[in-house]
């Protein structure tokens, strides 16, 4: 039998962390060596010989956590949001000094969500208009969601590459926020509603037709196959991978 992967979870008591601890515990090829919370020392990762750390914490702590892991040669699978361009650039620099270490930063581990974003990027150049609505539980601390942010970036890039003009919009007077937030020119609307988990719609429109690409996560278990895929793969992919699609063959 091959050796077990030693995995640690950060944010282990949170919604995602609780599901990840259970999934890793149940995986036959993984050993959960640490389940850490806010007040635990990261040194435990080194003491317990973690091969991979899964970061499911908060935007304020994720960068320091991942940098610690990379500095100690521990691969990192990151679901936490808040990775802006400056943080990513700093991490790339650090990874260049640790060429054997892999980091996956995935705004969404649900396979259906990864596909929905992929399909949206494919559809982007064929429609005049596109807007994104993301809908989440009311305890989510960030907006827009990391998933909506990345979807908007990929859709905008596909439209720019194809030379598609900006979507028509004659709105002149508006209340602040009435047209959502603009991410690379794509309007993104954030809904926070009791009873929801994690949902997104990408709306495309042209003359006489509309296409809606919708994905729903109804519970946190929906993210776990993607987390496990990330844990199993990250050690074989040195450097930074953005998005779980980097580990999938979506064109095949
Ligand atoms: N990529 C994906 O597929 C998904 C990503 N997410 C993202 O994952 C993150 C976590 O989401 P969720 O589980 O809902 O959030 P929760 O608030 O339920 O959990 C976050 C946990 O992190 C803990 N924490 C805070 N700071 C630290 C630290 N420095 N070290 C270790 N643990 C810490 C918190 O502890 P305490 O309670 O003590 O503050 C809490 O238990 C968010 O950024 C969210 O957007 C969520 C779902 C899916
Ligand atoms: O906080 C959440 O719940 C989620 N966060 C991620 C995001 O911001 O995109 C992934 C998913 O939407 C759930």
When comparing pLDDT for 235 and 1, which is higher?
A: 235
Q: Is 147 in the pocket of ligand 1 (CB under 6 A)?
A: no
The per-residue pLDDT for range 83-136, each reduced to its tens digit, is 999 999 999 999 999 999 999 999 999 999 999 999 999 999 999 999 999 999
Q: Whose CA is nearest to atom 39 of ligand 1?
A: 38
Ligand 2 atom closest to the CA of 147, numbered from 1: 9
| Contact assessment for residue 87 and residue 124, using Cβ atoms and an 8 Å cutoff | no
Q: Is 106 in the pocket of ligand 1 (CB under 6 A)?
A: yes
| Contact assessment for residue 133 and residue 143, using Cβ atoms and an 8 Å cutoff | no
Query: Same domain for 212 and 227?
Result: no
**Among 107, 142, 222, 224, residue to substitute to test ligand 2 (most atoms within 8 Å of Cβ):** 107
Query: Same domain for 167 and 198?
Result: yes
The per-residue pLDDT for range 181-200, each reduced to its tens digit, is 999 999 999 999 999 999 99
For the CA of 117, the nearest ligand: 2
Q: Is 234 in the pocket of ligand 1 (CB under 6 A)?
A: no
The CATH code of the domain that includes 19 is: 3.40.50.720
Query: Same domain for 241 and 153?
Result: no
Q: Is 137 annotated as a binding residue?
A: yes
The per-residue pLDDT for range 118-133, each reduced to its tens digit, is 999 999 999 999 999 9
Query: Same domain for 31 and 85?
Result: yes
For the CA of 140, the nearest ligand: 2
Taking each helix axis from N to C end, the angle separating 111-123 and 146-162, rounded to the nearest 10 degrees, works out to: 30
| Contact assessment for residue 225 and residue 231, using Cβ atoms and an 8 Å cutoff | no
User: What lines the ligand 2 site, CB under 6 Å?
Assistant: 81, 107-108, 136, 140, 145-147, 198
Query: Same domain for 210 and 225?
Result: no
Whether residue 1 is predicted with pLDDT greater than 70 in this model: the reply is no
Q: Whose CA is nearest to atom 28 of ligand 1?
A: 38
45 domain residue, yes or no: yes
| Percent of the chain topping pLDDT 90 | 96
Q: Is 144 annotated as a binding residue?
A: no
Distances (CA, A) of 250 to 149, 191, 199, 210, 239: 20, 29, 21, 24, 21
Print the domain residue range for 39.
Answer: 5-105+220-247
Kindly write down the DSSP assignment for every residue of 206-220, as one continuous string.
ETTEEEEEEEEE-SG
Query: Same domain for 46 and 144?
Result: no
pTM over 0.90: yes
Q: In 66-128, which ranges are E strands?
A: 75-78, 102-105
Whether residue 3 is predicted with pLDDT greater than 90 in this model: the reply is no
Say whether 140 is catalytic.
yes
17 domain residue, yes or no: yes
Q: Is 36 in the pocket of ligand 1 (CB under 6 A)?
A: yes
Say whether 122 is catalytic.
no
Query: Same domain for 233 and 167?
Result: no
Query: Same domain for 99 and 115?
Result: no
Q: Is 109 in the pocket of ligand 1 (CB under 6 A)?
A: yes
* pLDDT the model gives residue 84: 94
Structural domains in the chain (count): 2
210 domain residue, yes or no: yes
**Backbone torsion region of residue 65, taken as left when φ is above 0, otherwise alpha when ψ lies between -120 and 50, otherwise beta:** alpha
Flag whether the ipTM exceeds 0.95: yes
Query: Same domain for 152 and 211?
Result: yes
Taking each helix axis from N to C end, the angle separating 85-96 and 59-71, rounded to the nearest 10 degrees, works out to: 10
Whether residue 173 is predicted with pLDDT greater than 90 in this model: the reply is no
Query: Same domain for 101 and 224?
Result: yes
């Amino acid at each position: 039998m091959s050796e077990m992967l030693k995995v640690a979870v950060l944010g282990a008591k949170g919604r995602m962390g609780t599901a990840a601890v259970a999934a890793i515990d149940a995986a036959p090829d993984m050993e959960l060596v640490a389940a850490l919370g806010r007040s635990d020392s990261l040194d435990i990762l080194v003491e317990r010989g973690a091969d991979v750390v899964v970061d499911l914490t908060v935007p304020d702590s994720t960068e320091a956590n991942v940098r610690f892991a990379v500095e100690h040669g521990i691969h990192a699978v990151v679901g936490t949001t808040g990775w802006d361009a400056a943080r990513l650039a700093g991490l790339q620099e650090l990874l260049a000094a640790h060429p054997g270490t892999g980091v996956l930063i995935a705004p969404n581990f649900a396979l259906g969500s990864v596909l929905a974003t992929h399909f949206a990027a494919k559809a982007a150049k064929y429609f005049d208009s596109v807007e994104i609505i993301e809908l989440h539980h009311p305890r989510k601390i960030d907006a827009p969601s990391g998933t909506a942010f990345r979807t908007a970036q990929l859709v905008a890039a596909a439209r720019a590459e194809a030379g598609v003009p900006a979507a028509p919009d004659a709105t002149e007077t508006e209340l602040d926020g009435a047209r959502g937030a603009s991410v690379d020119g794509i309007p993104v609307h954030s809904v926070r509603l009791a009873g929801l988990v994690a949902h997104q719609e990408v709306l495309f429109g042209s003359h006489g037709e509309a296409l809606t690409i919708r994905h729903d996560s109804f519970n946190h278990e929906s993210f776990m196959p993607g987390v496990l895929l990330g844990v199993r793969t990250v050690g074989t992919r040195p450097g930074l991978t953005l998005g779980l699609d980097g580990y999938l063959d979506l064109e095949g």
